[in-house]
């Protein structure tokens, strides 16, 4: 078995980029190994889900992880859930605020969006070639203008806390959590991750699609104590 190499062992720091996800994808196409972390002070064309823009002024945390997870294609959507849990636990540990997940991958504070996750992958048949997990967090950003391309209101940690927190400290917490959970796959680890994700879900009127059916298969394995088998 290959020895585990920490995700984030190599950091590529950019003052400005169109999108850290674009940058990470180009790196991989040019042979980058798993574990690189692309980080930018600001993005000029940050991308969100469903073709939305992710407005990315200075003050936010914009990062993408280069991953080659040992997962079958049908389990790929779980990477987003793992990331959501890693980020929300980091935010909660640093701020003592209560964070929630809005299906499938928005993180909310006080009902407003503070973080979005964009997971992009390349697959060849049943094999996963790579995954790029992009994370955008409104940390010290001014919220003016952030709402422009969102279906519901945005917030930032600074707006809620009333003071700034260091992006680098938040980054460190996120990466510690991410590595802790990433090491657990493939295998039994998913149950623990899904349990944590489920505890934080913001609303249950989610659309039924493949990922949630897949999740429900997991979640329905609960025993009487509510534990996942
Ligand atoms: C969403 O909620 O729609 C997902 C937003 C994801 C934004 C991050 S910021 C870092 C990475 N680079 C991008 O262009 N997008 C993701």
User: What does the pLDDT read at residue 61?
Assistant: 98
Residue-wise pLDDT for 127-158, tens only, equals 899 999 999 999 999 888 777 666 679 999 99
Q: How far is the CA of 161 from the centre of ligand 1 (A)?
A: 23
User: Which of ligand 1's atoms lies nearest the C-alpha of 48?
Assistant: 3
CB of 49 sitting under 6 A from ligand 1 = yes
CB of 116 sitting under 6 A from ligand 1 = yes
Backbone angles phi, psi at 29, to 5 degrees: -60, -25
Q: How far is the CA of 221 from the centre of ligand 1 (A)?
A: 32
User: What does the pLDDT read at residue 105?
Assistant: 82
* Residue 227 confidence (pLDDT) above 50: no
Query: Distance between alpha carbon 131 and the CA centroid of its chain, in Å?
Result: 12
Residue-wise pLDDT for 82-102, tens only, equals 999 999 999 999 999 999 998
Contact 115/123 with Cβ under 8 angstroms?
no
User: What does the pLDDT read at residue 150?
Assistant: 67
* Residue closest by Cα to atom 3 of ligand 1: 48
For residues 166 and 219, give the distance between their C-alpha atoms in angstroms, rounded to a whole number: 36
For residues 181 and 209, which has the higher predicted lDDT (pLDDT)?
A: 181
Dihedral sign (CA 208, 219, 105, 19): negative
User: Which of ligand 1's atoms lies nearest the C-alpha of 136?
Assistant: 9
Average pLDDT of the chain is 86
For residues 71 and 87, give the distance between their C-alpha atoms in angstroms, rounded to a whole number: 21
Q: How far is the CA of 194 from the centre of ligand 1 (A)?
A: 22
For residues 124 and 116, which has the higher predicted lDDT (pLDDT)?
A: 116
Task: Return the bridge partners of 113, or none.
Answer: 108, 154
* Residue closest by Cα to atom 2 of ligand 1: 116
Q: Which of 49, 58, 9 is nearest to 33 (CA)?
A: 9
User: What does the pLDDT read at residue 71?
Assistant: 87
Q: Measuring CA to CA, how many Å separate 174 from each of 30, 137, 171, 216?
A: 26, 11, 5, 26
User: What does the pLDDT read at residue 217?
Assistant: 46
């Amino acid at each position: 078995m290959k020895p585990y190499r920490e995700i984030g062992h190599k950091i590529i720091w950019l003052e400005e980029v169109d999108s850290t996800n674009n940058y990470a994808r180009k790196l991989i196409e040019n042979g980058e190994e798993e574990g690189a972390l692309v980080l930018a002070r600001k993005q000029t064309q940050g991308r969100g889900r469903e073709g939305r823009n992710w407005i990315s002024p200075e003050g936010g945390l914009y990062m993408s992880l280069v991953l080659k997870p040992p997962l079958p294609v049908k389990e790929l959507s779980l990477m987003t859930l793992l990331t959501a849990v890693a980020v929300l636990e980091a935010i909660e540990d640093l701020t003592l605020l209560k964070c929630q997940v809005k299906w499938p991958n928005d993180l909310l504070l006080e009902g407003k969006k503070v973080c979005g996750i964009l997971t992009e992958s390349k697959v060849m048949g049943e094999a996963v070639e790579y995954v790029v997990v992009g994370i955008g967090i409104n940390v010290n950003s001014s919220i003016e203008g952030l709402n422009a391309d969102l279906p519901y209101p945005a917030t930032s940690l600074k707006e809620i806390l009333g003071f700034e927190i260091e992006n680098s400290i938040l980054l460190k917490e996120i990466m510690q959590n991410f590595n802790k959970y990433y090491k657990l796959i493939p295998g039994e680890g998913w149950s623990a991750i899904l349990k944590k994700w489920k505890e934080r879900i913001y609303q249950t009127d989610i659309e039924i699609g493949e990922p949630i059916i897949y999740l429900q298969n997991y979640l329905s394995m609960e025993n009487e104590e509510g534990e996942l088998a």
